[in-house]
Amino acid sequence: MKNKKYLNAKRIEATFSKAPDLVLQRLEEEITSNKIYPTYIIFSSDNVIVDEIISLLKETLLTPGFESFDFDLLHCEDVSVSEILTKVFTPPLAAKRRLVVIKDVLKLNSETRAQLIAELVKPRDFSVVLLVTEWEKNFAQVLEAQRGLTQAVAVYNFYKPFLSALKEQIRNIAQKKGMLIDSNAIDLLIEIAGESPDILNEELEKIRTLIGPSRITEAVVKKIAAKSHNYELNELTGAIALRNLKKSLRTLFHLQEWGEEPVKIIGFTGNELFRILRVLELKSERSRVAKEFGFKENSRRVQELIDRARNWTKKSLNKCLIDLAKMDKAIKNGYPQPYFLLEQFLLKNLSSGEQRL
């Protein structure tokens, strides 16, 4: 085999929440750096992701103006396996490699499907196959078996795990921590904390610390885990108020993993920034701040507001609030990547601030 870049087979999986975006970025970086595998098997029903991968491969592999000579999009329900393989093993005309996209492989019976995969995972120098399929457990097992025998395939799974599998994973984690967890408690925990195993493990560890080895009921989850979201939201707004960029980004990532609504994050942030603006208008005078917000003059919260206000000027704060309002409008109008906007908001407005740890 001439191209040594084909030698390292791999399996990259995106199983939770934000992970598909991260894996797509990794895949794009490898393709643009010309690290190309003979066969890509993509588990995804997201046409946006699939079209982006196809476009990138076409741009990387095919000769401009001659794409139609070396590109085929094949549906297994319309063509036979022999016709597919003929396309796959036909040398290119105008490019160094042909690109063959195969869809609807699950419409083949299991035996025919296995035969097709056995051929596709063979190393080739003259064609690249992108096989796009929805998730199917038995098919995934076939691929897993093939993976150990081939050096020419990369598998990317953009699906979330089956909910039943995730629930069983939660049950097992709880059991290892000496706890029994009710089914209703599992459902609520997923609803509150999201589907990231790391976050779920943190929540279970938090519950174990508070109640010890015990039974986890829905009431326990509601009492302990439900507070975590608001805690993290307050952590984020506090970090923003102190202009701590590093902590703000880290906390934003946690909230994204949990599936927190971006508009809610904006609401919490806006409320805190307006409070700080009011403190600035009151010239950070303790007695006036205490009276304005209904706190005792010597309370920790009054000192906290004054400390946070030291990181801002009225001009910088008004600019930040304008950006926040623009972002809120964009998200409510359907901007497709709200967390990207939130990240850019933090980078723009906090980068010049003091980075307190």
The CATH number linked to 32 is: 3.40.50.300
- Which tens digit of pLDDT belongs to each residue from 25-80? 778 888 888 888 888 888 887 777 888 899 999 999 999 999 999 999 999 988 99
Q: Are strands 180-181 and 10-13 parallel, antiparallel or unpaired?
A: unpaired
Residue 260 phi, psi dihedral angles, 5° rounding: -65, 140
- pTM score of the predicted model: 0.45
- Which tens digit of pLDDT belongs to each residue from 185-238? 888 887 777 666 767 888 898 899 888 888 999 889 888 876 666 778 888 999
Same structural domain for residues 149 and 174?
no
Residue 138, pLDDT > 80, answer no
Which CATH number is 208's domain given? 1.10.8.60
Q: Which of 266, 229, 281, 260 is nearest to 349 (CA)?
A: 266
Same structural domain for residues 185 and 257?
no
Q: How many CB atoms lie within 10 A of CB 35?
A: 12
- Which tens digit of pLDDT belongs to each residue from 323-339? 999 999 999 888 888 99
Q: Which of 16, 14, 11, 5 is nearest to 256 (CA)?
A: 16
Same structural domain for residues 64 and 80?
yes
Query: Does any domain span residue 94?
Result: yes
Tell me the mean pLDDT in the region 236-257. Answer: 89
Tell me the mean pLDDT in the region 302-316. Answer: 92
Last residue of a domain, one of 195, 224, 253: 224
Q: Which residues of 131-158 are buried (b: 16+ CB within 10 A; e: fewer)?
A: bbbebeeebbebbeebbeebbbbbbbbb
Report the number of distinct structural domains present in the chain. Answer: 3
Domain span including residue 182? 163-224
Residue 1, pLDDT > 50, answer no
Query: Does any domain span residue 289?
Result: yes
Residues 166/53/46/161 CA torsion (nearest 10 deg): -10
Which CATH number is 269's domain given? 1.20.272.10
